[in-house]
Amino acid sequence: WEKIVNAVTGVAKEAKNLGEEDPRRIIHSFKVGLAIVVVSLVYYFDFLYEGFGVSAMWAVMTVVVVFEFSVGATLGKGINRAIATLLGGALGVGAHRLASFTGDKIECTMLMVSVFLIAALATYTRFFPKLKARYDYGLLIFILTFSLISVSGYRDDEILDMAQRRLTTILIGGAVTVLVCILIFPVWAGSDLHKITATNIEKLAIFLEGFGHLYFQVPNDNDEEYKASMDEYKSVLNSKGIEDSLVNFAKWEPRHGKFRYRHPWDQYLKIGSLTRECAYKIDALNGYLNSDVEFVLPLQTPVGIRTKIQESCTKMTSECSIALRELAMGINTMTCSLSADSWVLNAKAAAKEFKSSLKTDLWSDTDLLDIVPAITVASLIIDIVSCTVKIANAVHELASL
């Protein structure tokens, strides 16, 4: 009994967390409920139901299947469904007409063969990567409509009526869905993509900021807090899937907020992939904070040696961190943040400083073995500076498009 109570409170807690994490989820759920109720009015009003009959169910079905979280995804599915139904229906009616000129036996065979061929062909088309990304759902609905129309045509001779009623109800369902989705607290995939791009860059900045503190300073109580927020960069490593789908959705969306219809969404993919590249290097760097590397090389570089690289390294990380923060802010406010450039220049200067510090005699009395980890850390940080430069360029390019 206690177990059940625990399970229920656990689920309730998770539901609450999900809602607090993104309150739009709660609104979305009510929107779906509303759209279904609105479209079910087709059943309640006699003059509507008499027109459509059983086909009225396609309106309800369309709402349930097409309503997605973001406007872009909903529009994409809705447009795909409408066009695919039209094409599939037209082809189905055509095939039925063509077959009806022949005898009953041949008609049956012809319809079967055409359904087999068209279904196989359309299924194969779904493997094309470009079509899969944007029109996968449309191809599915095309197969569905074509098969349904041409197969049921064998039983029902009024398939033109049927196809037309089905198309009309699907259009009603799609229209209700799109209207509810856009008019009531719309969720734009475009702004989400915009925000996630900025957030990911900021996560890198947070890591770099913390790294300077953790690597060069004596451990203290705040370390755990730092570590927790620093680990957020790990979500950037696998962000490609989310970004790709958001870009696909965003391309369906009309002008909204600060984004015009043909906003250069592809540039976000470019920034995203540079951000990930930087995150890979940060992941390598992170190994030097933990005990990962210890198994061959000494992790604990003598403090004396850390101090030698401390100044230039903390400078590089902090300048990079500020530059990335500025870039993230610039994306958020959609301003061309030239202020980031000066921080990038500072970071570059710090990298050059480090380079010349290697030439001095500061190092002559040290054992090479001791300095290897420190040198590697410094050199990874330099790589990160060069990644930051690339991210800055890509962000500026976005601002200029």
Show contacts with a copy of itself in window 24-43 (CB under 8 A). Answer: 25-26, 28-30, 32-34, 36-37, 40, 43
CA–CA gap between residue 215 and residue 286 (Å, rounded): 10
112 vs 289, beta carbon nearer a copy of itself? 112
Residues 106, 386, 397, 401: which binds a copy of itself (CB under 8 A)? Answer: 386
- The answer to whether 93 touches 159, Cβ cutoff 8 Å, is yes
Output the DSSP codes for 97-112: HHHHTS-HHHHHHHHH
The minimum distance between CB 251 and a copy of itself, in angstroms, equals: 20
Q: Which is nearer to a copy of itself, 144 or 214 (CB)?
A: 144
By CB under 8 A, is residue 368 in contact with a copy of itself? yes
Residue whose CB is less far from a copy of itself, 125 or 332: 125
CB closer to a copy of itself out of 259 and 371: 371
Q: Which of residues 64-123 bind a copy of itself (CB under 8 A)?
A: 64-65, 108, 112, 115-117, 119-121, 123
At 168, the amino acid letter reads: T
Query: What residues numbered 270-329 form the site for a copy of itself, per CB under 8 A?
Result: 276-277, 280-281, 283-284, 287, 292-293, 295-297
Quote the tokens at residue 79: 């447009």
Phi first, then psi: give them for residue 256, nearest 5 degrees: -155, 145
Give the HSE-up count for residue 85: Cα atoms under 13 Å, Cβ half-sphere.
Answer: 21
Site for a copy of itself in 191-230 (CB under 8 A): none
Q: How far is CA 345 from the centre of its chain?
A: 32
Closer by beta carbon to a copy of itself, 63 or else 171:
63
Distances (CA, A) of 328 to 62, 203, 244, 280, 348: 39, 10, 19, 19, 19
Size of the residue set binding a copy of itself (CB under 8 A):
83
CB 1: neighbour CB atoms within 10 A? 5
Under DSSP, is residue 333 helix (H, G, I), strand (E, B) or coil? Answer: helix
Burial bucket for residue 177 (CB in 10 Å: 0-12, 13-18, 19+): buried
| 152 interacts with a copy of itself by CB under 8 A | yes
Q: How far is the CB of 229 from a copy of itself (least distance, A)?
A: 20
Q: What is the DSSP letter of 251?
A: T
d(CA 72, CA 63): 15
Q: State whether residue 188 is helix, strand or coil.
A: coil
* Closest CB to a copy of itself among residues 1, 17: 17
Q: 152 or 168, CB closer to a copy of itself? A: 152
Taking CB under 8 A as the binding criterion, the range among 180-188, 193-201, 218-226, 353-361 that sits at the site for a copy of itself is 353-361
Q: How far is the CB of 38 from a copy of itself (least distance, A)?
A: 10
Please tell me whether residue 128 binds a copy of itself under the rule CB under 8 A: yes
Helix (H, G, I), strand (E, B) or coil at 288: coil
Q: Which of 105, 241, 300, 400 lies at the binding interface for a copy of itself (CB under 8 A)?
A: 241
